[in-house]
Structure 1
Amino acid sequence: MAVKVPLWHHYLQAIRSREVSRVQDFQRAEDVLLTLLEHVHTLDPRFLVDYSHHLEAFQFALRSSEDPLDMQVLLRVDSSALLIEEQGASEPGDGPVLCRLGIPRGATGLEPWMMEDVFSASSEGSTRCCGYIMPSKVLRVLRDLLVAAIVYCKHHGLIAPGLLSAATLKEEQLHLSLLVSSGWRKIRFNIVPALRRKCDVPGLHEAWLTPGFPEGTLKRMVGHGVDLVPASAQHWRACTGYLLTQLLGELGALRGHRLDSLSILDRVNHEHWRDGGREPGLTFNHLKTVLLWACALFPAPEDWTELQGAVYRVLVVLLCCLASRTLPHFLHAERDLLQGGDLDLGAVYQHAESFARQPEAALRIHATHLGRSPPPRVGHGVKALLQLPASDPAYWATAYFDVLLDKFQVFTIQDEDRVAAMQSIFRKTRSLGSMDT
């Protein structure tokens, strides 16, 4: 008799069955885009082609969502030769520090970046700086180059008709959008000019001296630095997207279901919480950040050996963030990734809690999976418990999340110290009237 595959693994198998085709779709689309950008470089050597996107295909295969992908176009300029003037955020937690890219007076070798199409002379009478590289001007030049490259590549048969169009390019945005056809799938890329800056990343040191990631992770990553991308017409900001994708790749080197848990939640989010992507909601990047926090909070390998338990470790962190309406950036914890968008956090929380209480309905892929659902894992009174870290950051700890796992009946750890720590936190929270006993 055939062995019955548990529902969670059925769902994971369905997701994995699509990974090869998704990688192939990405690579075909990327080839079209790289062909285009290579001609952009030929037209204007100030713009470089970044070939270091091997992790993007891996990340695209994990996703079910079709949110746009960033493709950086590097600026051919030595960041150490520039005056990087930090402006600061207007309020704590507003986001990455803004900066301007200044050209020092008397600088040599920076003449291509002092041309009028990308440069504005300083009107401040500075003795050090003669002017600035302007993001708005760089984007305008890059847009014109992309249009010219599309025309050239189509005329010379380098890109097949219908694969992409310049109609989606918009000057007023902080990126340039291109829709690339790949088989039956269309992939939207956000083309972003970027300056690679070799510098220290304080959040990386704070986060990666933890046992939740492979040994040597910090050493492998500090050399990359950060990328500066447009933040406004005049200002640039630090972007850590590449570093976070690297961290995701590092997790793939570990045994267990860390990445599988991300794939499952992204599929549920896309299909059920966002109605197949037709409704606004959480993005893959939101869920990726939640996974990174979960890996830091649950560093023990045994936390990730069982699929259902692995999903719930990410899910309890997500629920806590939604209940407290705060998702800290992983490398800049003062930044809240849930603010500044059009998210209906109350509705998203209801979706996530309903899934946590009774996940079986969302895991049924076809009629053969129909059957009676088990009773809910926990009652509706868990939200007050989930909000505790917002009032006391001390609760943002493994023991607190172990309490949540126990509430959802998925705490199976036998380690006596962890059980004792979990029970201690539980005793502190029993006075909450909304907790189920």
Structure 2
Amino acid sequence: MEGDLEDCLLNKVDLRRQWISQMVEEVQKVVHHLTTEISYQDFRFQAIPYCDTYNENIKDPEGLQQWLGVEQFLKSPGQWHEADVNIEGDIVPAKVLQVFRKLVENAIETCHLSDRVHILMDHLVVRVVVETSAGQVELQLTPAVDIPTAWSKKAQWPSCLKRWPSPETVQCIKSFGFSLLACSSYHWQLSFLRAEQVLLEQLDEDGGCRRKCFQALRQMKEDVWCPGTRPVITSYHLQTVLFWTCEKYPYPKDWQVFSRGFLRLVRKLHKCVSQRFLKHYFVRKSNLLQYASSCELDALAQTLAFFLKDPQISLP
């Protein structure tokens, strides 16, 4: 990779960040407005001051599925015994989503947001389209249950003798616990959003270029390798590739040169796509490419192979 091509790519990354930040700010205000109204209507749901993210393009690997019983709640369990969300002591995601969808529909009307927010028809999950000054944004609103101060037994992490992340960071991450998402019919899906946020926030404490490499990888995925609204590879896949690569190359010296770090990520992505196998970073028995289209993965693997033979950047 030549220096001017690197500059071109990183300039594109900066423009994307500015564009995204504007949309995110507008969307967060709308989501906070809606969820505040929802919490007034039904106190079982709490308002969020910001928009948590979950990538709806990844179907649930079985290893990330879990039951949620009402006895797991230490406070006010009675509210979760109601038949609208409960079957024989189990809180059922499909029933929670049914209640939540109605609450979202009511909140859109009550908040007078019908001209800006439209709920999409879907057999299960709750998707809305938000009109922003930069264009339409499609969101999936997913009820979540936080399990603080505990760590999932399914997440056998970290492995022994790993130098990244540091023991202090590991301890910090585990102290935040995990979450369960209502995004399927009967099983709740494990989520480690806060843990992942901490890892991303502390990526370059040693002065490396991991974040720039990841942003460039995402830019190439979105613009060249895998564009579109329903890509076979999502930002969550790329984030997982980043974490695995950071674990394999833990030293600051490994992340001092942008081109080397970037191509290292591309090679890891190519290997995962070619093998149709990408382990979840925390629940390592789960393959995040388990339900991905084989044809699309094979086509992407070929595209990445061509790029690695001649790593020239051709942005639209």
Shorter-normalised TM-score: what interval?
Answer: 0.7 to 0.9
Shift of 1:219: 2.2
Quote the Cα distance in structure 1 between the aligned partners of 2:197 and 2:66.
22
Match of 1:78 in 2: none
Deviation of the 1:210 alpha carbon = 3.3
C-alpha distance in 1 between matches for 2:62 and 2:186: 18
Instruction: Name the CA distance, whole Å, in 1 between partners of 2:79 and 2:116.
Output: 33
CA distance in 1, matches of 2:137, 2:159: 32
> 1:34 pairs with 32, 35, 38, which one?
32
Give runs of aligned pairs for residues 4-403 of structure 1, distance below 5 A: 6-51=4-49, 94-103=62-71, 109-120=76-87, 122=88, 131-154=89-112, 159=113, 162-166=115-119, 168-170=120-122, 172-173=123-124, 175-198=125-148, 199-201=150-152, 203=155, 205-207=157-159, 210-213=162-165, 216-230=168-182, 232-274=184-226, 276-277=227-228, 280-343=231-294, 344-360=296-312, 363-365=313-315
Q: Which structure has the greater CA radius of gyration?
A: 1
- For structure 1, list consecutive stretches of 5 or more residues without a partner in the other structure: 60-66, 71-88, 123-130, 367-437
Contact 1:164 1:180 in 2 (8 A): yes
Report deviation, 1:346: 1.4
Q: Secondary structure at the match of 1:196?
A: strand
C-alpha distance in structure 2 between counterparts of 1:108 and 1:16, whole Å: 45
Q: How do 1:388-427 and structure 2 match up within 5 A? A: none
Query: Relative to 1, partners in 2 of residues 1:214 and 1:14: Cα closer, same or farther, differing over 3 Å?
Result: farther
Distance 1:273 1:206, change over 3 A: same
Matched residue pairs, number?
310
Secondary structure at 1:335 match in 2 = coil
Counting aligned pairs with the same residue, the percent is 23
2:142 aligned counterpart, secondary structure: strand
Higher relative contact order (CA 8 A, sep 6+): 2
Contact 2:92 2:186 in 1 (8 A): yes
Contact 2:67 2:90 in 1 (8 A): no
TM-score (norm 1): 0.64
> Whole-Å Cα distance in 2 between the matches of residues 33 and 69 of structure 1?
20
Alignment partners' CA distance in 1, 2:236 and 2:62: 18
Given that 1:273 and 1:281 are in contact with CA atoms closer than 8 Å, whether structure 2 keeps it comes out as no
CA distance in 1, matches of 2:315, 2:273: 27
Q: Which moved more, 1:203-212 or 1:24-33?
A: 203-212
Structure 2: gaps (5+ residues): none
Equivalent position of 1:64 in the other structure: none
Shift of 1:243: 2.3
